[in-house]
Chains A and B, each alone.
Chain A
């Protein structure tokens, strides 16, 4: 069974530039998560989708971050404009449902903002 795919794996941009990350969850998984993980910290949930609807985006900085999950499958996370403090690993995960379900994580995208 294929795992969660993410691209790119690495990205370096300058502050105020835009960047987008892509995630392809495990086939059939209804729930998709985007996390931000700053070095030395645990992952912080940015947004959670159930199919193509948003379940929780309370920690998403909506003035600069946006995410969508068209057709309830793939998802993109965008940052516009980027700030230095956005340097982190962005992890995508998927699970069959929501409550108490195991989450399967992708390898992440390491973003460096200069």
Chain B
């Protein structure tokens, strides 16, 4: 089992919709989590950190569920520009592990 797993998608949703995807992790000792965004043929860029109490940044909300060992990303009022691959990452045992990414496509 991979340490960090994501549904590869693609998620294809209309503009304005709310979309959410999860990322599960197997290492219960993982301390920190992040969501990165990666555009096609570009480098990953940090989208947001995931705190125990949840984290909101504009239309984006990240949540951590330690009991079920997953993190989630919710995007409200999705825009065409949100189309990208979203990578989750977990930190534990002094190393960071990335998921394979979830591809999101927003259609007009």
Asked if A pairs with B, the answer is no
Enumerate chain B interface residues (CB-CB to A < 8 A): none
